[in-house]
Amino acid sequence: MKILIAEDDTTSRLLFAATLRKLGHTVTAVEDGRKAWEAWQKDEYPLLISDWMMPDIDGLQLCRMIRGEPGLQYTYIILLTALDSKGSYLEGMDAGADDFITKPFDEEQLAARLRVAERILGLHQKLHIQATRDYLTGVWNRASIMDYLQKELKRGARQDICTSVMIADLDHFKRINDTYGHPTGDEILQEAARRMSGVLRGYDRVGRYGGEEFLITASGCDWSEALALGERICSSIRSEPANSRAGQIDMTVSIGIATSCGQVNDIGELIAAADQALYQAKEAGRNQVKLSRLPIESGPAP
Ligand SMILES: Nc1nc2c(ncn2[C@@H]2O[C@H](COP(=O)(O)OP(=O)(O)OP(=O)(O)O)[C@@H](O)[C@H]2O)c(=O)[nH]1
């Protein structure tokens, strides 16, 4: 497990780090709350072990700051307390801590506490996957991809970069269901989702928007880059037939794209524009990409 330690006392910090490494964990150890906050923001740590008393940002503040930023992954927080700190446990729990360890620590007790942390984190992870992923295809579900798009649109406006959204709709999918049956249709949806995920860059996301429609977010992409990405998705879907229980089946997809470079802050508006472009792609014969013609993109007209 990746563990972040925040402890200003050098001996205690080194001892914790050495013990945790001996137990097989990957450890980052820093000497104050501010450094811990910076490290936590840069990377994902499922577990934080933090001293309570630290200069500048103390353990309680650190707990509150982390709980104020609900990330994708839950951070289990263990606060380190002195033996005489009885009576403050509730305060720590209210700030967001999950457990306490008294200093000087007992190695076996530390290992036991980590077992609990791993169990809770495992359950959390399972629930998180159930709540955010589409059960059939494994890509993000509708609520999660919309939430992500909202965040990316805001971030794009703040950082003055473009955000593109695509709606990809499998062509004549009803025919596949009608000809080969629903379970085969499901396999085609899974294969299409796999291929789309395969061509995306690390910071792009694909989610199941509904039935046979997928929504793709392309952060930092202006219309020309989004068009290139859309073409890549389109060609990976048609590149070769999908293997299914009913044999090999050809697939194609139509894609509508809308881009905002700070002009739109309502995802509904952006999605409606992408939907409009998708309609044009279907009208023009399917198996192709169309850009939104709405005047929401600054720069040269597509
Ligand atoms: N197998 C399967 N089919 C689904 C699922 N969700 C929606 N569908 C089917 O997707 C089909 C969508 O059909 P239409 O909206 O007519 O679209 P289409 O046949 O793809 O036609 P165009 O989009 O115009 O190319 C319907 O038959 C739905 O029943 C699903 O989870 N699994």
Q: Return mean pLDDT, the chain.
A: 92
Round to whole Å and give the CA distance between 80 and 284. Answer: 64
* pTM across the whole model: 0.80
- Sorted by sequence, the CB contacts under 8 Å of residue 282 that are 6+ apart come out as 169, 171, 254
Residues 238 and 262 in one domain: yes
302 in a domain, yes or no? no
Contact 299, 291 (CB under 8 A): no
CA pair distance 195, 202, nearest whole angstrom: 14
Closest protein CA for atom 15 of ligand 1: 174
Cα 167 to Cα 12, 58, 117, 226, distances in angstroms: 53, 46, 40, 12
Domain boundary among 132, 164, 189: 132
Statement to judge: residues 147 and 284 lie in one domain: yes
pLDDT of residue 165: 96
Best residue for ligand 1 mutational test, from 173, 213, 238 (most atoms within 8 Å of Cβ): 173
Residue of the CA atom closest to atom 26 of ligand 1 = 174
Tokens of 68: 């104020």
Q: Could you read off the pLDDT of 121-137 as tens digits, one per residue?
A: 999 999 999 999 999 99
Nearest partner of 1 among 48, 39, 63, judged by Cα: 48
How many domains does the chain fold into?
Answer: 2
What atom in ligand 1 is closest to the CA of residue 186?
1
Tens digits of per-residue pLDDT, 169-201?
A: 999 999 999 999 999 999 999 999 999 999 998
Domain boundary among 70, 105, 132: 132
Active site members: 212
CA separation for the pair 203, 196 (Å, rounded): 14
Question: Do 14 and 80 have their domain in common?
Answer: yes
Instruction: Identify which of 46, 53, 56 has the alpha carbon closest to the alpha carbon of residue 20.
Output: 46
User: 171 in a domain, yes or no?
Assistant: yes
Mean pLDDT over 48-70 rounds to 93
Is position 125 within any domain?
A: yes
**Candidate from 137, 172, 177, 255 with most ligand 1 atoms within 8 A of CB, to mutate:** 177
CA distance 198 to 192: 10
Q: Quick check: is 300 in a domain?
A: no
Q: Helix (H, G, I), strand (E, B), or coil: what is residue 270?
A: helix
- ipTM, two decimals: 0.97
Q: Which positions ≥6 away from 234 have C-beta within 8 Å?
A: 252, 253, 255, 287, 288, 289
Q: What integer pLDDT is reported at residue 300 of this predicted model?
A: 47
Domain boundary among 132, 163, 194: 132
Q: Centre a 10 Å sphere on the Cβ of residue 117 and count the other Cβ atoms it contains.
A: 20
- Establish whether residue 187 lines the binding site of ligand 1, counting it when its CB lies within 6 angstroms of any ligand atom: no
Element (H, E) at 260: strand 253-260
Is residue 161 domain-shared with residue 94, that is, in the same domain? no
Phi and psi at residue 260, to the nearest 5°? -125, 130
Q: Is the pLDDT at 153 greater than 60, yes or no?
A: yes
| 171 Cα: distance to centroid of ligand 1 (angstroms) | 9
Write the residue with the smallest CA distance to atom 14 of ligand 1. Answer: 174
- CATH code assigned at 265: 3.30.70.270
| Confidence (pLDDT) at 258 | 95
Smallest CA-to-CA distance from 93 within 138, 52, 41, 144 is with 52
Of 61-65, 111-115, 172-176, 296-300, minimum mean pLDDT range: 296-300
Question: Could you tell me the residue range of the domain that residue 240 belongs to?
Answer: 142-291
Residue 294 confidence (pLDDT)? 57
Whether 96 and 225 map to the same domain: the answer is no
List, for residues 238-269, the tens digit of each pLDDT value: 999 999 999 999 999 999 999 998 888 899 99
Give Dmax over CA atoms of the chain in angstroms. 75
Give the residue, by CA position, lying nearest to ligand 1 atom 31: 211
Q: What CATH number did the domain enclosing 104 receive?
A: 3.40.50.2300
